[in-house]
Chain A
Amino acid sequence: MDIIVALWFRNIKIFARNRVQLIFTIIMPFFFLFVFSSVFKNQNIENPVNYMLAGIVITTVFQTSLTVATSTIEDIVSGFMKEVLVSPVKRIQIAAGQLLSAATIATMQGIIILFIGYFIGLKFTSWITPFEVIVVMIVVGLVFSGLGLYIATLVKNSQTFQVVITAITMPLTFLCGAYIPLSMLPKVLQYIAYLNPMTYTTAFFRTIILEKTSLTTNRLVAEQLAFKIGNFVITPPISMVIVLIFGLVFLLLSTYVFSKVDFSRINRSKSKEGDIFS
């Protein structure tokens, strides 16, 4: 437990020290808000700014947790992971430390954006809503840090990993309805979006944060908080279950693979520094 806390604290410290990254990750969402909120104006949506804001909060949580968890690869490449691997620390403890810190950082960022969003007009009528929102953010943070850690264990070459991350985050971010309504997408992309776990994450999160849990199914479908695939309607609770299953699979998979993977192979491909010296 002590080790998990120590690793958790380390990652948060590193994140807090990187001021440029911190400011950038706070400014970017509002830039997107400004650019994309007009897109939602023509849609069948009550309050496009809040609707958009909710999408931005959850995609930020998603992107941050994924990026922080995949930053494990930096530790592997920098050599620090080797120090960890020769110590009596269990790998599962390292995995837990990485996952928890990624989820924490992601949630903190979500809260910061929510806080700024409050001044733009995002209000809650029930005092329970903010707590629900935070719980959902923590869960979503954990879910996608699981995916991130899993990706990190698959990377064989440190140079290609940035490309891999972008190739994964971009479609997941833009094909989930957070920035562009799914109804505006071509049919093919809509079907792809239905395979995207972020689609369900966004829908569920919006339902909670915009306090729309009591809407009728038709209304939910109209506001794109529920999806009609054929005759079957994926309501927000079903979305939640989908996300939870997805998360559970990747959390288990990533911890398992992380405990088994042979990191020496990655190190071997990168040890150019040693070559220069010898």
Chain B
Amino acid sequence: MNAHFFQITLFFYLSGTIAYLIYLVSSHERAAWSGRHLLGVGFVSHCLTLVLRYIEAGHTPVINFHESLSFFVWMVVGFFLLLRHHYKVEVLGAFVSPLALLLAIWAAVLPKEILPLPPVLRSWWLPIHVTFAFLGDAIFALSFCAGVIYLIQERFVKSKRVGSFSGRLPSLEVLDEINYRALTIGFPLLTIGIVSGAVWAEYAWGSYWSWDPKETWSLITWLLYAALLHQRLAVKWRGKKAAVMAVVGFGAVLFTFLGVNLLKEGLHTYSEWFR
């Protein structure tokens, strides 16, 4: 049942992405409106998917790779819709929706069967740890998109090619503000995600930290964002440097989330749990 809803979700994300890309090249307000609403419908359908899967599985559906990707995409889209509510930055949708769509398609081609949760992981820490870690990551995804747009817009303004495309992008100041907001909200969430993971590890495996690849890369990601936050608050970094950092930081997020699962083996590798 949840698989059907996931298909529907995918369909709406795809059409929303297409609408937003049309907006990017044509600047028709109607295209942005459609994109927003299609993503919104997709998001509602995605909520249903997750609820159904939760009921069918009996635990928070973040156990296999498909579930994790789906959960992450759900948050990215949710945060975007929330952000769009506060800032009128339509164009961000043309960057966020393709990212969400790609990850959703990836999730769609992965095996989707519901796996039993190993007894050792059966705990309330599971939703807490995963939710906070993903909340942080999803917000960083938005700051990544804002950072990319910032770099494009900055290039336009500095090189004095300020045509109609540049006119469709938000102002540098707004993009920088999104970057800053995302950092100040995302960083504490990521911190809670990591700390709750450590506490849970102590319960489940008997040690707070075991330096498995996921943990190591999470720490690297955390340090990168800590450095950016420090530079922003203490050295008053702004604009380009902060945007570059947001892009680099999200690279680390993606590697921690995706790369580690594909390349390395460890406690967090899903297959490992079911040997």
Do these two chains really belong together in a complex? no
Chain B residues close to A by CB (< 8 Å)? none
